[in-house]
Structure 1
Amino acid sequence: MDVAPSGVALLLLASGFFAGLLNAVAGGGSFLTLPALMSVGVPPVAANATGTAALLPGYLASVLADRRRLRTAWQELGGGLAWGLLMAGVLGGVVGALALLLTGDARFRVLIPWLLLVATALFALGPWLQRQAARPHPGPLRMLGAGLGCTYGGYFNGGVGILLLAILRGQGLSDLAAANAVKNLLSTALTVMAVGVYIAGGQVVATGLLAVGAGAILGARLGIALVRRMPEAGHRHAVTGIGAVITVLFFLDPAWLGLSTS
């Protein structure tokens, strides 16, 4: 897609803004940043890596803005469990990012529609997942679930917020806002580690990094304000709708997303 430099900057700034807003509330930012970056010519793996890197400031802004609730939630979890979850985020981010680099552009291009479909399903099934996670499970199984969820986040990131919220509700955080605060911390931890791996692998490109990142910071600030006012169901339905549209577009393999195989 041929777009003037100013148009590219505005497109990426807007995608970063709304992605940061969605991520601060519950997740779904990758639905916007991945197609936006690919539409301006960034290869699939690099687009996923760069979009994740650009959203990192938004995650950090969310943690800082909600630090008081985070301290309360941390105490509610207890030191041992809280630090265990954070370690799962760190290790999961590294493992997932390494798996992405090993996938390669050709394979990842094929996987993208299916990953988006999984992420969309996660948003649609969010309440059911949280009910299932809230049932009694052995401690090691819960930590394994946290590790797998964070590994998924290091690989793709789309829908990881829903997974982490379900896991955290199952760890005893009954308050949604408190669980959301810890979710933002875990998302930050796994993303920091994943981005380090992406940079080492040469997959974070300058195109759009600053524009998407700046937009994500602004969006995250607004998202933290909205999370206290916006009904959970309203956000879930909105993100599910966005995810469904983007998923269909990727399955159709449109040329403007750089997915044409011809």
Structure 2
Amino acid sequence: MLDPLTLLALGGAGMLAGFVDAIAGGGGMVALPALLSAGIPPVAALATNKMQGIVGTAMAALTYWRRGYIDLKRLLPAVAITFVGSLAGALTVSALDTSLLKVAVPVALIGIALYFLFAPKLSDADKAARLPFAAFVPVMGFAFGFYDGVFGPGTGSFFTIGFVLLFGLGLTRATGSTKALNLVSNLAALVIFIPQGQVLWPVALVMALGQIVGGYIGARTGIRYGARVIRPLVVVVSVALAIRLLVWG
């Protein structure tokens, strides 16, 4: 069992992770290193990170939904398909070679950062969709859900760019919809981790309390300031994730 000061520090890390994740995704970049630095074994750290992170994601998704930024009725088919995709990824990860992803994902994240940095028309206003929402959002959900089950980093950024580029959502609505799909993709991983006994529940509970606070504040910040805060934070988080993957793997 960890000492109280370490648990308090992890609770603070959970709050910061929830804040960042609610706006731009990538909260695991804060929470997972904190868990590993506390001496928690890698698999248990991954499982505990998913458990505490899902609480913050749920709080953020609820906040966006209550303020009208998530059309749950339109998203329901994608929610179900994303869960299936993530579960399939988690079940097949041991049979797949993920070495290519360690290079391809950072390149994709840098591309996303450049797009958000230089695209002149990014705003909170919806635009014309390039693909039919009902037919292709579930396809995107399965693809990125599968990726989340196999590898994971950057899933939120990929969902957000997909909602903006392919389906014409304004940045705040895209972020809210991302939280809904990210929630179920993380839940699928826990279906695997929890029966294995990998989640450290006392640590997950403390960090989850921080996540609730951080996720709520982050979602309110994203809703209040919209593209002005979401756009730069997506750039920073995407670049930071890319550097972390390239340097530390």
Structure 2 counterpart of 1:26, from 24, 27, 30: 24
Q: 1:94, CA displacement in angstroms?
A: 1.3
Give the alignment partner of residue 229 of structure 2, picking from 204, 228, 231: 231
Deviation at 1:31, TM superposition (A): 0.8
Report the AA paired with residue 40 of structure 2.
V
Q: How does 1:19-168 map to 2 (within 5 A)?
A: 19-70=17-68, 73-74=70-71, 79=73, 82-100=75-93, 102=94, 117=106, 120-121=109-110, 124-125=113-114, 127=116, 135-136=130-131, 143-168=138-163
Alignment of 1:185-196 (within 5 A): 185-196=180-191
Letter in 1 for 2:234: R
Q: 2:174 aligns with which of 167, 179, 184?
A: 179
1:20 to partner: Cα distance: 0.6
1:91 deviates by 0.7
- CA distance in 2 between partners of 1:221 and 1:138 (Å): 28
Moved more, 11-20 or 149-158: 149-158
Residues 85 and 145 in structure 2, CA contact (< 8 A), matched pair in contact too: yes
SS of the residue 1:202 aligns to: coil
Closer, same or farther: CA 141–203 of 1 in aligned 2, 3 Å: same
Q: Could you tell me how far apart the structure 2 residues matched to 1:138 and 1:13 are?
A: 38
Contact 2:81–2:141 (CA<8 Å) still a contact in 1? yes
Q: Equivalent residues in 2 for 1:212-227 (5 A)? A: 212-227=207-222
State the TM-score, normalizing by the size of structure 1. Answer: 0.74
Q: Is the Cα contact below 8 Å between 1:123 and 1:239 reproduced in 2? A: no
Conserved? CA contact 2:28–2:49, under 8 Å:
yes
Report the aligned-residue RMSD. 3.6
Q: CA deviation at 1:149?
A: 0.5
Q: 1:42 to 1:126 in 2, by over 3 A?
A: farther
Work out whether residues 130 and 166 of structure 2, in 8 Å CA contact, stay in contact via their aligned partners in 1: no
Shift of 1:53: 1.0
> In 1, are the aligned partners of 2:79 and 2:184 still within 8 Å (CA)?
yes
Unaligned runs of 5+ in 1: 252-262
> What stretches of structure 2 of length at least 5 have no aligned partner?
123-128
After superposition, where does 1:237-256 map in structure 2 within 5 Å? 237-240=235-238, 242-243=240-241, 246-247=244-245, 250=248
Q: Deviations over 1:185-227 (max 9, x none)?
A: 1111222222122102332223621222111111101101211
Tell me the distance in 1 between the aligned counterparts of 2:243 and 2:136: 34
1:113–1:167 CA distance, 2 compared to 1 (3 A): closer
Question: What is the deviation of 1:165?
Answer: 1.2
Asked whether the 8 Å contact 2:13–2:34 carries over to 1, the reply is yes
TM-score by length of 2: 0.77
Partner Cα distance (1:206, 1:119) in 2? 34
Conserved 8 A contact 1:120-1:243? yes
Q: Distance in 2 between the 1:115 and 1:34 partners?
A: 21
User: Percent identity at matched positions?
Assistant: 25
What count of residue pairs does the alignment treat as equivalent?
238
Q: Which amino acid aligns with 1:121?
A: I
CA distance in 2, matches of 1:11, 1:245: 25
- CA 1:240–1:169: 2 relative to 1, 3 Å: closer
- Asked whether the 8 Å contact 2:79–2:141 carries over to 1, the reply is no
